[in-house]
Structure 1
Amino acid sequence: MIKQLPLSLAGAHKRDVRTQFAALCYRIKKKKLQVLLITSRGTRRWIMPKGWPMDGQTPAGSAMQEAWEEAGVRGRSDGRCLGIYSYSKDADDLGALPCLAMVYAVEVTDLAEDYPEVGQRKRAWMSRKKAAQVVDEPELARILRDFDPREDAASA
C-alpha cells in the first residue's frame, strides 16, 4: 500500500482548487469485473463519484468519502492514482470551471441502501465496456476500458 499524506487546504478556496478526486468503484461478481456509475444531479449523465479535496484527507480518502456520500459505497483503495481526466464543471456561482479528476480504484465491500445522496442520483453496475460507452469524457472512457485490478494483482 502506498503511503499518502493528508492534504492541507489552509487558505485555499474551491474556486482556486480545480482538481477533484474520483472513485472508480468496482466489484468482481461471478468472475466478471463490474464498475459502478452514478448519475449527475443536474444533467443526469453517467459519471463516477468525485469531489473536491478535503482538508486532512488523502486524495484516495477524499475519493472514498465521495463514493460514500454519492453512491453509498463502502470499500477499500490501495491509494494509487489510476489516471487523470479533464472535464468542465458547471459551478453555479463561478460558471464553467476546467477541472482535472484524479481517479482512484475503490473495491466495493458494501453498498448501502441509505446514504447521504440517496434519491438524488441513480446508480448502476455495468461492464467496463458499457461504462466507457456511456460516459462523456474520452479520457475517462479510456481509464474505464483499461482498468482491470485482476491484471495488477497477477503482475505484482
Structure 2
Amino acid sequence: MKKVKRKAGEKRSQIAAMPIRRAADGSPEILLVTSRTTRRWIVPKGWPMKGLKDHDAAAREAFEEAGVVGRISDTPAGRYTYWKRMRDHFTLCEVKLYLLEVEQQLENWAEQHERDLHWFKLADAADLVDEPELGTAIRELETQLVLAA
C-alpha cells in the first residue's frame, strides 16, 4: 500500500450514506451500523472509490456494511469531520454525507458478521453517535426531511 504524504492538518476525504426510511407511524428513521474495531455507532462510510462518483461509492458502502439498497442523493446532505483511528496514528477526515432512501434491506450482505445494525429515530441516533458533528447532521436531517415531504 502506497502512503500518501500529507501536510500537517490536511484532512482526508471520506464518503458516507445516511440510510433513511419511514417508520410505520410515518416518522423518519436512520440506520446506524457499528464500526468494526471500536463498535461505535456510525453511518456506513469509507474512502472514495476510483471509477465511482462519491454518491455511488456511498451507496456501495451502505450495501456492503448494512445490506441496504435504494435511491442515493447525488449532492451531499451534510458534512462532518472526525479523527479516524488508523493502525499507528489518527488522521483528520472530512466526510460527505449522502441521503439514501432505503428501498430494500437484504437478508445477507458482505459485512453482516462484522457489524451490528439498528434503525433509530433521528433524535436517538443523534445522541448515540460519538462524533458531535455527525450528531448535528442527523438532527438537521429531520428538518430537511420535513421540508422535502
- Superposition TM-score, scaled by structure 2 size: 0.88
Shift of 1:15: 6.9
Match of 2:73 in 1: 78
Matched, 1:60 2:55: yes
Match of 1:7 in 2: none
Partner SS state of residue 120, structure 1: coil
Match of 1:45 in 2: 40
Match of 2:29 in 1: 34
Q: Distance in 2 between matches of 1:15 and 1:116?
A: 31
Matches for 1:91-102 after TM superposition, within 5 Å: 91-92=86-87, 95-102=89-96
RMSD: 1.8
Partner SS state of residue 81, structure 1: coil
Match of 2:82 in 1: 87
Matched, 1:124 2:118: yes
> Where in structure 2 are there 5+ consecutive unaligned residues?
none
Matched, 1:141 2:135: yes
Q: Distance in 2 between matches of 1:38 and 1:85?
A: 17
Equivalent position to 1:18, from 12, 17, 37: 12
> Where in structure 1 are there 5+ consecutive unaligned residues?
1-11
- Superposition TM-score, scaled by structure 1 size: 0.84
Q: Distance in 1 between matches of 2:130 and 2:58?
A: 20
Equivalent position to 1:112, from 101, 106, 109: 106
Corresponding residue pairs, total: 142
Code of the aligned partner of 1:25: P
Code of the aligned partner of 2:139: R
Q: Distance in 2 between matches of 1:77 and 1:111?
A: 14
Q: Distance in 2 between matches of 1:38 and 1:74?
A: 15
Match of 1:103 in 2: 97
Partner SS state of residue 90, structure 2: strand
